[in-house]
Amino acid sequence: MKKGCKYGTHRVIEPKGTLPQPAFRLDNSMEIYDNEILIDVITLNIDSASYTQIRKVCGDDAEKMEAMIHDIVGERGKMQNPVTGSGGMLIGTVKKIGPNFPKDSGVKEGDKIATLVSLSLTPLKLNKITHLEPEQDQVDVDAQAILFESGIFAILPDDIPERLALAALDVAGAPAQVGRLVKTGDTVCIIGGGGKSGVLCAYQAMKNAGPSGKVIVVEYSPENAKRITDLNLAHHVIIADATDVMDVYHKVTEIVGENGCDVVINNVNVPNTEMTSILITRDEGLIYFFSMATSFTKTALGAEGVGKDINMIVGNGYAKGHADQTLNILRESKEVRSLFEKLYV
């Protein structure tokens, strides 16, 4: 059996010398190296920014969407949207474990797992898409994938259905980071708060900010905004287009004053919302850009251009304990779990 690199560089076809995520093309042959896991894939959860872009290009035509996904995987050996650069995650059954895969991982053949690393770095062989709904970013497949030694994953729990766990774990980094960043008494604004990651972030923000804090949600969709109101996950809900910078700025500052918010969480799945986040954040405040539609050039130069001294955090989808913390939200809140079951199961 061939010996592999901890970080999966042995799977990079081009350009040589880089790691799997920024690589253009990976070797997606399914003969495993000594430090890999082979997974029989059940479902791909394509990330929101990527799926939204695919839907838009294909006009919500399921057959065209399937063809586009096949083309991406066929060209790249992984599911990495060439426009957004992002991927998603998967659930599947462990078929084979290399002899040098870490023994302390606790995984065994036959376990159902969710990968907690991006599809944009995961070698994937896609045989067939068995079910795709344009409005639902979970795509059922006949496929196989490879997880490297450095790849993180979660063994699926018994008390939460697979598709429900997949939906939550896909965005587990966001509420976990909110748990770290939001303090008691903070004024928090969540942009794109009515979607999957937004709901979880709003729940965590309300919990952390406490009675003395203030949580505001900005949401484009009236239906999604109603979810937040019905679930009592924010003190204020603003229906607005986050790409309309000054409109959102005026509506938020009407609530919080000209100084702005302590913490802003950006969860949108469309580009050009960077300056909205920046303008509503107070000096020396903090923005967490979880959205993969974010241009970090625009954030850096845009903040400089308006004279804002603020802390901006890249949306790392991994945080220690993020899987358990996110699944525990579904255990703590019957209302959030009921919503997720309605949408994703």
Q: What domains can be seen in the chain, in order of their start residue?
A: 9-156 (no CATH), 173-339 (3.40.50.720)
Position of tokens 């979970």?
A: 138
Give pLDDT, residue 301.
95
Can you tell me the mean pLDDT for 299-312? Answer: 95
Distance CA 149, CA 26 (A): 16
Measured between alpha carbons, how far is residue 193 from residues 18, 92, 183, 269 in Å?
A: 35, 29, 19, 11
| pLDDT at residue 345 tops 80 | no
CA angle 61, 67, 73 (to 5 degrees): 135
Q: What is the mean pLDDT of the chain?
A: 95
Tens-digit pLDDT profile for residues 68-114: 999 999 999 999 999 999 999 999 999 999 999 998 899 999 999 99
State the pLDDT confidence band at 292, using cuts at 50, 70 and 90. confident
| pLDDT at residue 319 tops 90 | no
Tens-digit pLDDT profile for residues 35-49: 999 999 999 999 988
Can you tell me the mean pLDDT for 24-30? Answer: 98
Give pLDDT, residue 48.
87
- Within 13 A of 304's CA, how many CA atoms are on the CB side? 6
Tens-digit pLDDT profile for residues 249-270: 999 999 999 999 999 999 998 8
